[in-house]
C-alpha cells in the first residue's frame, strides 16, 4: 500500500498511510472539491496541487521535501493557501519516527511551525500521527495541531483511509474528520481517489467538502511522513 494523497491532494480526500520506504521516489497530484458551509453560500469550489520527494539516505535515515498549494473561490475573490515542509525520520523497522519544519502561508499570514511525527505498520493497516506548534506573523499569535490518520489496504489496488485533525487557531479550536478511498490503476503510475471531510470550529464554522484527487507516482514506492499537511484542508474549510 502506498501513501498517495498528501498536502493539497489531501484537502478533501485525506492522506492514505503506506508501508514501503524509498531510495528516491515521489508523486505529484491534484484535487478538486466542492464546499458546503452553513450560513456562507458564497464559499464555492476549491482546487489544489501538491508534490513530494522522499530520499532514503541509508542506515535507516530518510529525508522528505513536500509542498502544496490550494485555492478556494469565495464570493468575488480567491483565497490562497501554501505549505512547504522539510522532514527527517528514522526507520526502526515497522515504525518510523521523525521531526519536521513547516512554512504555511494563508492570505497574508505566515506561520512558522515545528513538529514531531510517527508512522507504525500492522500488516495491511497503517497508523500515523503528528503534533506541531508554531506562531504566525513573528509572534502575533500561536497555532497548534494534532493529526491522526489510519489506512487499510483492501487489495493491492484499493485503499480506504480516515483522518482526525484538531487545531488551535490562537484560541479558536476546531476539529475535522475525513474518510476516503483511492485506487491504484493497474500497470500504471497513476492513482485516483475520492473523499469526504467535515469541519467544525468553536467560532461556529461548520463546513463539509466532497472531493476527487489524482496522482502520478515516480521512482520507488514512497511512504511520505505526515507533517502539518492537514492545516491546508482545515484552513480552506475554516476560511
The pLDDT value given to residue 151: 92
The pLDDT value given to residue 232: 86
Q: Which fold has domain 7-238?
A: Porin (2.40.160)
Q: How many CA atoms lie within 13 A of 215 on its CB side?
A: 31
Q: Band the pLDDT of 76: cuts 50, 70, 90.
A: low
The pLDDT value given to residue 39: 67
CA 54 to chain centre: 15
- Residues 110, 112, 116, 120: is their CA dihedral positive or negative? positive
The pLDDT value given to residue 86: 95
Mean pLDDT across the stretch 139-145?
88
The pLDDT value given to residue 63: 94
**Least confident interval from 3-7, 134-138, 145-149, 220-224:** 3-7
Q: Band the pLDDT of 136: cuts 50, 70, 90.
A: confident
pLDDT (tens digit, 9 = 90+) per residue, 37-52? 776 666 678 899 999 9
Mean pLDDT across the stretch 211-231?
86
Inform me whether the pLDDT recorded for 237 exceeds 70.
Answer: yes
Three-state secondary structure call for residue 137: coil
**Least confident interval from 47-51, 138-142, 143-147:** 138-142
Higher local confidence (pLDDT), 103 or 137: 103
d(CA 34, CA 228): 23
Closest Cα to residue 115, out of 138, 136, 98?
98
Closest Cα to residue 1, out of 108, 127, 102, 176?
127
Domain boundaries along the sequence of the chain: 7-238
Q: How many CA atoms lie within 13 A of 184 on its CB side?
A: 22
Inform me whether the pLDDT recorded for 180 exceeds 80.
Answer: yes
**CB-count burial class (<10 Å; 0-12, 13-18, 19+) for 14:** buried
Amino acid at each position: 500500500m502506498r501513501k498517495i494523497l498528501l498536502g493539497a491532494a489531501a484537502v478533501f480526500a485525506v492522506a492514505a498511510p503506506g508501508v514501503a520506504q524509498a531510495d528516491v521516489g515521489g508523486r505529484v497530484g491534484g484535487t478538486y472539491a466542492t464546499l458546503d458551509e452553513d450560513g456562507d453560500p458564497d464559499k464555492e469550489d476549491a482546487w489544489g496541487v501538491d508534490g513530494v520527494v522522499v530520499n532514503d539516505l541509508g542506515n535507516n535515515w530518510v529525508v522528505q521535501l513536500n509542498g502544496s498549494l490550494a485555492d478556494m473561490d469565495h464570493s468575488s475573490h480567491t483565497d490562497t493557501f501554501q505549505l512547504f515542509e522539510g522532514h527527517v525520520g528514522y526507520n526502526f523497522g515497522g515504525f518510523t519516527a521523525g521531526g519536521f519544519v513547516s512554512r504555511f502561508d494563508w492570505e497574508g499570514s505566515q506561520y512558522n511551525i515545528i513538529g514531531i511525527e510517527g508512522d507504525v505498520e500492522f500488516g495491511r493497516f497503517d497508523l500515523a500521527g503528528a503534533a506541531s506548534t508554531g506562531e504566525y506573523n513573528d509572534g502575533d499569535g500561536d497555532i497548534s495541531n494534532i493529526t491522526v490518520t489510519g489506512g487499510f489496504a483492501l487489495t493491492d489496488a484499493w485503499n480506504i483511509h480516515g483522518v482526525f485533525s484538531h487545531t488551535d487557531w490562537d484560541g479558536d479550536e476546531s476539529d475535522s474528520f475525513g474518510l476516503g478511498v483511492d485506487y491504484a490503476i493497474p500497470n500504471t503510475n497513476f492513482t485516483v481517489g475520492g473523499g469526504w471531510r467535515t469541519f467544525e470550529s468553536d467560532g461556529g464554522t461548520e463546513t463539509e467538502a466532497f472531493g476527487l484527487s489524482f496522482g502520478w507516482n515516480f521512482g520507488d514506492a514512497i511512504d511520505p511522513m505526515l507533517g502539518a499537511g492537514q492545516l491546508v484542508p482545515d484552513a480552506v474549510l475554516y476560511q
